[in-house]
C-alpha cells in the first residue's frame, strides 16, 4: 500500500475524532498482526495508534508491566511527581495535539513557576555560598564577567558566545561535520580551563557523563530546541504538564488501542526478512508480522539478538550511542525545614545530592509537595554503585550535613535509576564526538522489515516531542512498505 502524507493526516484526524477512550482488556488475539510494535512508550503507542487508524492490525509488546516508558508518574507520592519526562513547551505541537486527541488536559505551570522563583541555593564542597558573594568567592574558577554567573549558567553563556555556526536547526548537516568534536575540546579551544569545565559543564550535567563524551553538534541540537521553545513572549510562555501526571497521556493512548497490548514481554530476538519479521520474547513466545517497529532505546536494543545483523554503521550506532546516566530520589518532608533555616528548598551542589528541585504541585502555588534529587552523569553512576538502601541513607545524610534543619524530617518516597533500569539502561540519547558525522544518518534506516522509532531517531525536536516526531516518520515508512 502506498499512501500520501495528505491521506495519512486525513485518516488519522478522522479516526482520532471518532475514537472512544473506554479501557479494554486485551490478550493475544488470534492470527498474525500486520505489524508488531515493540515498546509502549510515547513513540510506540503513537505509532501503533496511527497504524490502526490507517487500517492495519497491530500488536504491541512491552517489557515492563506498565505503559509510558520514560514517562513515569509517581502516582502514590504527594503531588504526583514525575520520575520521567517533566514538561512540554510551546514548540511541542505534536504533544499538545496528542493530548487533545486523547482527552488529556495540558496545564500551563509557567505562571506558577515564574511567581515562585525562589531559586536554587549554591553548595560547593559542603559550603553554602550566597549568590551575592559568588563573584568574589575563592571557589569561583571563572574569569572576567563570567565570575558573576552562577555555575549552572556558565556553559550556556559560552555556547551563546562561541558556537561556530548559527543555523542550529541544521546541526546534523554535513556542512557542520568539522564541529563533531567534544564539548570539552570546544570549550578548551575557547579559553576554558579544566576547572571551569568541571564545575560549569560536568557538574549536574545535562548530556553525557562528562564534556569529553558529548559532541558539540549534540549540544547545538539541544540549544536549538531550547531556543525555539523560549522564543515565545513571556506572557505566552508555556511550561506544560499533563493533568494529574504526565503518564496519563500514554495510559489514555493505550486505552484507545484496538489490538493486543502484551505487557511483561521482554523482547530478546528479532529476525527480519524481505516480507516479514519475527520477534521472540524472554517467555519463549514468538510473534510474526509483515513488519516490526522497534521503539526500544539503543541502550536496550544492543542486548537483543538481531538476525541478520544490520549494516555495519547502523549496528555500530546500536552498540555505541551514548545515554546520560540519571538517578532520582524523591524526598518527602514532614515539616518545611526550609522555613526553619530560611533558605530555598532547591539546591545546586557538587556533592551526592546533585541538584535538588522543590516540586510545587499542591493546592496553593507555593506548597512544596516533594523534593526531587537529580544525580546525573558521574554522580549518578557513583550513587548507583551503593545500591538503593545505602543510596537512600547517603542522600539523607547529605541533606542533614548541608541543611541541619532537615535532620529527622525527611523520608525517601521513591528511587529510580534510569541507568540500572533494564528497559532504559540510561536516560536520553547522546551523540558522542564523531557520532553525528559517522552514524546519525544510519540510525533509523529500515533494516528489511524492521523499522525504527524513538526519541533517539528524531532530528527536528527532542524528548517527548522527538518521540512523537519519530512516530510520524516511521508510520509513513511502514504504511508505504506494508501492502
Residues of this chain that interact with ligand FAD (CB under 6 A) are 38-44, 61-64, 69-71, 84-87, 266-267, 295-297, 300, 326, 418, 423-424, 427-428, 454-455, 463-467
CB of 167 to ligand FAD, least distance (A): 22
Query: Residue 363: helix, strand or coil by DSSP?
Result: coil
CB of 7 to ligand FAD, least distance (A): 25
CB of 280 to ligand FAD, least distance (A): 10
CB of 10 to ligand FAD, least distance (A): 25
Choose between 289 and 296: whose C-beta lies nearer to ligand FAD: 296
The beta strand positions in 406-472, using DSSP E, are: 410-417, 429-430, 450-452
Which runs of consecutive H residues, i.e. helices, occur in 179-291? 183-189, 194-197, 216-230, 248-256
Complete DSSP assignment for 403-446: -GGGTTTEEEEEEEETTT-TTTSSSSEEPPTTHHHHHGGGTT--
Contact 276/129 with Cβ under 8 angstroms?
Answer: no
Cα–Cα distance for residue pair 483/473, rounded to 1 Å: 17
State the Cα torsion 23-25-31-37 to the nearest 10°.
60
Contact 89/240 with Cβ under 8 angstroms?
Answer: yes
Contact 32/482 with Cβ under 8 angstroms?
Answer: no
CB of 65 to ligand FAD, least distance (A): 10
CB of 44 to ligand FAD, least distance (A): 6
Q: What share of the chain is helix, strand, coil (3-state, %, to 5)?
A: 40, 20, 40
Choose between 74 and 436: whose C-beta lies nearer to ligand FAD: 74
Q: Residue 288: enclosing H or E segment and its boundaries? A: strand 286-289
Choose between 71 and 187: whose C-beta lies nearer to ligand FAD: 71
Contact 197/187 with Cβ under 8 angstroms?
Answer: yes
CB of 77 to ligand FAD, least distance (A): 15
Choose between 187 and 239: whose C-beta lies nearer to ligand FAD: 239
Collect all residues with Cβ–Cβ distance below 8 Å to 309 and sequence separation of at least 6: 315
Q: What is the DSSP letter of 202?
A: I
Cα–Cα distance for residue pair 246/444, rounded to 1 Å: 27
Choose between 187 and 318: whose C-beta lies nearer to ligand FAD: 318
Choose between 260 and 455: whose C-beta lies nearer to ligand FAD: 455
CB of 28 to ligand FAD, least distance (A): 15
Q: What is the DSSP letter of 309?
A: P
Choose between 141 and 354: whose C-beta lies nearer to ligand FAD: 354
Choose between 95 and 439: whose C-beta lies nearer to ligand FAD: 95
Amino acid at each position: 500500500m502506498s499512501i500520501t502524507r495528505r491521506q495519512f493526516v486525513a485518516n488519522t484526524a478522522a479516526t482520532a475524532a471518532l475514537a472512544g477512550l473506554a479501557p479494554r482488556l486485551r490478550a493475544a488475539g488470534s492470527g498474525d498482526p500486520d505489524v508488531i510494535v515493540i515498546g509502549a512508550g510515547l513513540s510506540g503507542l503513537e505509532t501503533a495508534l496511527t497504524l490502526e487508524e490507517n487500517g492495519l492490525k497491530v500488536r504491541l509488546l512491552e517489557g515492563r508491566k506498565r505503559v509510558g516508558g520514560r514517562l513515569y508518574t509517581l502516582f502514590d507520592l504527594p503531588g504526583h511527581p514525575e520520575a520521567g519526562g517533566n514538561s512540554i513547551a510551546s514548540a511541542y505541537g505534536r504533544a499538545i495535539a496528542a493530548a487533545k486527541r486523547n482527552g488529556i488536559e495540558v496545564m500551563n505551570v509557567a505562571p506558577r513557576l515564574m511567581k515562585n522563583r525562589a531559586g536554587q541555593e549554591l553548595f560547593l564542597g559542603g559550603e553554602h555560598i550566597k549568590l551575592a558573594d559568588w563573584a568574589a568567592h575563592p571557589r569561583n574558577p571563572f574569569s572576567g564577567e563570567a565570575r558573576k554567573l552562577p555555575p549552572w549558567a556558565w556553559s550556556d553563556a559560552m555556547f551563546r558566545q562561541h558556537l561556530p555556526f548559527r543555523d542550529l536547526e541544521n546541526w546534523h548537516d554535513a556542512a557542520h561535520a568539522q564541529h563533531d568534536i567534544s564539548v570539552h575540546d570546544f570549550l578548551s579551544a575557547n579559553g576554558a580551563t579544566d576547572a571551569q569545565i568541571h564545575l560549569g559543564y560536568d557538574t549536574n550535567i545535562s548530556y553525557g557523563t562528562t564534556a569529553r563524551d558529548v559532541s558539540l553538534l549534540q549540544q547545538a541540537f539541544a540549544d536549538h530546541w531550547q531556543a525555539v521553545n523560549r522564543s515565545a513572549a513571556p506572557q505566552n510562555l508555556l511550561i506544560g504538564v499533563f493533568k494529574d501526571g504526565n503518564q496519563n497521556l500514554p495510559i489514555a493512548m493505550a486505552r484507545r488501542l484496538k489490538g493486543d497490548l502484551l505487557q511483561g514481554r521482554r523482547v530478546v530476538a528479532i529476525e527480519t526478512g524481505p516480507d516479514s519479521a519475527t520477534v521472540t520474547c524472554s517467555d519463549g513466545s514468538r510473534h510474526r508480522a509483515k513488519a516490526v517497529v522497534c521503539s526500544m532505546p539503543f541502550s536496550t536494543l544492543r542486548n537483543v539478538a538481531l538476525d541478520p545483523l544490520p549494516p555495519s554503521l547502523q549496528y555500530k550506532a546500536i552498540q555505541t550511542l551514548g545515554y546520560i546516566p540519571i538517578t532520582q530520589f524523591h524526598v518527602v518532608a514532614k515539616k518545611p525545614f526550609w522555613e526553619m533555616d530560611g533558605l530555598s528548598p532547591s539546591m545546586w551542589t557538587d556533592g551526592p545530592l546533585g541538584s535538588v528541585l522543590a516540586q510545587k504541585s499542591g493546592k496553593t502555588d507555593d506548597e512544596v509537595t516533594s523534593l526531587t534529587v537529580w544525580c546525573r552523569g558521574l554522580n549518578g553512576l557513583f550513587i548507583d554503585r551503593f545500591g538503593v538502601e545505602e543510596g537512600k541513607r547517603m542522600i539523607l545524610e547529605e541533606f542533614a550535613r548541608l541543611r541541619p534543619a532537615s535532620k529527622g524530617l525527611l523520608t525517601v518516597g521513591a528511587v529510580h535509576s534510569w541507568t540500572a533500569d533494564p528497559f532504559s539502561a540510561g536516560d536520553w540519547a547522546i551523540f558522542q564526538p564523531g557520532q553525528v558525522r559517522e552514524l546519525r544518518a544510519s540510525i533509523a534506516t529500515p533494516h528489511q522489515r524492521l523499522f525504527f522509532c524513538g526519541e533517539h531517531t528524531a532530528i527536528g525536536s527532542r524528548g517527548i516531542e522527538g518521540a512523537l516526531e519519530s512516530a510520524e516518520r516511521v508510520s509513513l515508512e511502514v504504511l508505504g512498505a506494508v501492502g
